[in-house]
Structure 1
Amino acid sequence: MTPSPLIAIVDDDGAIRNGLSSLLRSEGYGVELFASAEAFLDRSAPNALDCLITDIQMPGLTGLELQAILRKDRPSMPVIIMTAFPEPTYRERATANGAICFLSKPFNADELLNCVGRAVRQPR
């Protein structure tokens, strides 16, 4: 049996992390939750992950800074960026760094699931 794709969620808001986790688990995905970019970067086995969903605005490293680090260290990992502050410069930066999706909060479940589905299907 093929293992379920493993999705990392990085957001400082626990309610967002838990809500997204419930949605993705209900669709058969494995999920790991992180309250900060730094906690994610401390993870011992990033190669086991199939996709990263990250918020932009967080204490410490931002989601865009995390994306830039991953682009160097793990360029094939699909990244989905989400934000409550969808400024054009954020979208441009996320897209330029290869984000598979840029979601403005609040977004609907189907939008996120479509993005995750594209992310886990893309070749690496």
Structure 2
Amino acid sequence: MQSPSRVCVIDDDESVRVASSSLLRSLGWEVSLYQSAEAFLDADPRGGLACVITDLNMPGMSGLQLQRRLQELRREVPLIFITAFASDAARRQALDGGAMCFLIKPVDGTIVADCLERIRRGFLKP
């Protein structure tokens, strides 16, 4: 069975979405971009979804609220949080909620690649 190959990026900052898309495509991933958690949930993009990379602080639903909503909907998808405004409490909440990574902007592309590789390996377990 082939592992999922698509990453959804959710960030209210268009420049972050574009930069993230460029990085992810260069790493061989298919990418879908969303300007809000609500837009992502409305699109319901489950087929072939490997993970979601989301900003922590966004207008409307935050990344942590999205994480809780996905859990309520029983949609198990790996999450990577990327934020410019981190706190120990938010980091702890995200990771305790099952997030794979919690990264601080600006993010080194190799760290994102490492997180995605861990996710890919998780899908390939026998």
Out of 12-21 and 113-122, give the one that drifted further: 113-122
Question: How many Å separate the matches in 1 of 2:33 and 2:93?
Answer: 24
Percent of aligned pairs with the same residue?
A: 41
- Residue 15 of structure 1 pairs with residue 15 of structure 2: yes
- Residue 26 of structure 1 pairs with residue 12 of structure 2: no
Residue 99 of structure 1 is matched in structure 2 by 99
Deviations 1:42-99 (A, max 9, x none): 1144243110000011000001100111123245310001110110010010011000
Question: How many Å separate the matches in 1 of 2:7 and 2:43?
Answer: 13
Question: How many Å separate the matches in 1 of 2:3 and 2:94?
Answer: 29
Deviations 1:20-41 (A, max 9, x none): 1001101110000000000000
Count of residues in correspondence between the two structures? 123
Query: Offset of 1:3 from its aligned partner?
Result: 7.4
- Residue 55 of structure 1 pairs with residue 48 of structure 2: no
Structure 1: which 5+ runs fail to align? none
Query: Offset of 1:119 from its aligned partner?
Result: 1.6
Question: How many Å separate the matches in 2 of 1:41 and 1:55?
Answer: 15
Name the SS for the 1:50 alignment partner: strand
TM-score (norm 1): 0.91
Question: How many Å separate the matches in 2 of 1:48 and 1:3?
Answer: 8
Question: How many Å separate the matches in 2 of 1:44 and 1:57?
Answer: 21
Question: How many Å separate the matches in 2 of 1:34 and 1:61?
Answer: 13
Structure 2: which 5+ runs fail to align? none
Question: How many Å separate the matches in 2 of 1:93 and 1:102?
Answer: 10
TM-score (norm 2): 0.90
Does structure 2 conserve the Cα–Cα contact (< 8 Å) formed by 1:6 and 1:31?
yes
Residues 30-41 of structure 1 correspond to what in structure 2 (within 5 A)?
Answer: 30-41=30-41
Root-mean-square deviation (Å): 1.7
